[in-house]
Structure 1
Amino acid sequence: MIIGKEKRLNRLYNGHDRIIILPLDHGFTEGPIDGIENMGQALSDIVRYNVVDSVILHRGAIIHNYSILSKQNLGLIMHLSGSTSLYGNGLHKIQTGTVDEAISLGCDGVSVHINLGNEYEPYMLENTARIAEECGKKGMPLIAMVYVRGDEIENERKLPYLKRAVRLADEIGADIVKVNLCMEGENFSEVVNSCQIPVVIAGGQQKDYISLLRMVDTAMKSGAKGISIGRNIFQSSNYSLLLNNIKRIVHEHEDISLIMKEYLAYA
């Protein structure tokens, strides 16, 4: 199934050497938050700019918005795990979909969320290993979102934690791993070099326009292969401008200095 997986990975990247992923799985966890109250409208508004290479959605959102998704040159990733913010700390992600369902819905990849460093880690690892095996048999790319979160974890963005996270994703059989960018002053290239699969960065907490672009620029210069940023994009007041400048950094390999010069000239 290597050929099938490669074909699907090519669709996810949409012909680029780096990838822009828009995760829209937040509603499962947090409900209809700002920016995705109306998922159909959010999808229509964002994908029409033809910047995003792939989107991440849960099963229901794929089904309900298939008329939009099927008309776009857009990679489709089905998220297979979840929890809600209504129960406990939300660390225990359980399986909510299957690889076969993703295939039947015409998806190009699946994603799972793993939280390391807490009492639920063994269950998530066992489940992810099973999904990775199935993805290998059926030619389906697997994106692992890996975070180190627990009562004993003081800062999940510390370099040693991130290096462990990407290596775990690599070893368990993922094709792409999503992690946070490291703390300021640390070298994210150490994270990228800790595994043999592409590393993409998460958006994390809400950031202003300039801080977000600088974060993307830092990640790309450190060897990251793309981004997987959700609310920092779909909750932006001007995501058309933001997406265009993200494209310039990620796909056009443009240095942020020119973008900053333009921004300051019109600010």
Structure 2
Amino acid sequence: MLMRIGKALRLKRIFAADGKSFIVAMDHGAIIGPQGNLAHPKEIVERVVAGKPDAILTTKGMLKHAHAALDPDVAVILRISGGFTMLGDPSDFQDRVISSVEQAIKYGADGVAITVKYGHPNEGEFIERASFVADSCSDWGIPLMIEVWPAGPNVKKPYELEAVRLGARAAAEIGADIIKTYYTGSKDGFAQVTDGCPIPVVILGGEKKGSTRDLFSMIEDSLAAGGAGVAMGRNVWGYEKPELMVQAIRGLIHEGWSVDKALDFLNKREER
């Protein structure tokens, strides 16, 4: 009973009253190093938090150096998997569990995140690790976000509909509370993902988009298809004025802004 209460309260911090969440992913430094605005943890966290996202997804190191910049109203999801960098062999990017749920709670986290690569040659090991983490999250009353990353010889692209659809449901089956995964490219397709998954599905941003309109259109379409929000990083902290990008995406998710309204907001604020 206590564990269920703990999860429920923490999920209320991650998701707004409308059932949607805007999570800014800031866990990239452990893999790609001090790229762009991530080079200065405290400064970029201050700027992102100023825009009022619902939560940030980050690492122990970022939290150590930037916790003073956090807003009490912004939830923290701590990534507890990793174990590889861009200097390593891409075929060995296995995303091992490198910290514990208990440790995340000691850091003050409202949720934890891990990655499962469905279709990977070591898929079974990913699933086994994730299942044990899910059990630990249940014991401690903390939500688990699983990043569903389709990869392997039978997966041509990570955003393939059937791969994402299967992966999202499989992650829910082993105890995830939130799914972070790829947008499949169309509203009809993504609606099949959300319809077949009994827990909230938020989309990741992936590589920085070619245009802001493309980014906003993807967000708008995912929401129309039953998505529960976004968990994006490079398209947010990599923007020249990340605090404005946060506000614009927040408008799309929580205020029902159109793509044109969000773009107009950005353009007018940038002119000041």
Matched, 1:74 2:74: yes
8 Å CA contact retained: 2:244, 2:266? no
For residue 46 of structure 2, what is the amino acid of its counterpart?
Answer: S
Could you say if the C-alpha distance between residues 78 and 258 of structure 1 is closer, same or farther in structure 2, counting changes exceeding 3 Å? closer
Moved over 3 A (4+): 257-267
- Opposite residue 246 of structure 1, the aligned amino acid is I
Whether the 8 Å CA contact 2:29–2:35 is kept in 1: the answer is yes
In structure 1, what is the equivalent of residue 63 of structure 2? 62
Residue aligning to 1:178: 180
Percentage identity across paired residues of the two chains: 27
- Structure 2 length normalisation: TM-score? 0.91
Residue in 2 that maps onto 1:137: 139
Q: Deviations over 1:18-55 (max 9, x none)?
A: 100011110111111112011111101111122x1111
Q: Indicate if the aligned counterparts of 1:35 and 1:231 stay in contact, CA closer than 8 A.
A: no
Cα distance in 1 between the residues matched to 2:66 and 2:261: 37
Contact 1:216 1:227 in 2 (8 A): yes
Instruction: Sort the Cα spacing of 1:188 and 1:77 in 2 relative to 1 into closer, same or farther, 3 A.
Output: same
> Residue 232 of structure 2 is aligned with which of 229, 234, 241?
229
- Deviation of 1:244 after TM superposition, in Å, equals 2.0
Q: Does the 8 Å CA contact 2:47/2:243 hold for their aligned counterparts?
A: no
Deviations 1:223-258 (A, max 9, x none): 101100000111012333322221111011233344
Contact 1:162 1:179 in 2 (8 A): yes
Take 1:167 and 1:257, find their aligned partners in 2: how far apart are those partners?
Answer: 33
Question: Matches of 1:77 and 1:240 in 2, distance apart?
Answer: 19
Cα deviations by residue, 1:89-148 (Å, 9 ceiling, x for unpaired):
153111111110111111110000111112221111111100000111110100000111
State how many pairs are aligned. 265
Q: Is there any run of 5+ residues in structure 1 with no aligned partner, and where? A: none
| Alpha-carbon distance between aligned partners in 2 of 1:80 and 1:259, rounded to the nearest angstrom | 33
Alpha-carbon distance change, 25 to 263 in structure 1, aligned in 2, over 3 angstroms: closer
DSSP 3-state at the match of 1:116: coil
Please say if residues 91 and 149 of structure 1, whose CA atoms lie closer than 8 Å, have aligned partners that are also in contact: no
Residue 193 (structure 2) pairs with residue 188 (structure 1): no
Which residue in the other structure is 1:160 paired with?
162
Classify 1:138/1:211 alpha carbon distance in 2 versus 1 (closer, same or farther; 3 Å): same
| Residue in 2 that maps onto 1:126 | 128
Which of 196, 206, 216 is residue 219 of structure 2 equivalent to?
A: 216
1:245 equivalent to 2:236? Answer: no
Compared with structure 1, are the counterparts of its residues 47 and 151 closer, same or farther at alpha carbon in structure 2 (3 Å cutoff)?
same
Aligned to 1:96: 98
Contact 1:24–1:56 under 8 Å retained in 2: yes
Letter in 2 for 1:191: V
Aligned to 2:11: 9
- Cα RMSD (Å): 2.0
TM-score normalised by the chain length of structure 1:
0.93
Query: 2:266 and 2:28 mapped to 1: Cα distance?
Result: 30
Measured in 2, the distance between the counterparts of 1:118 and 1:259 equals: 38
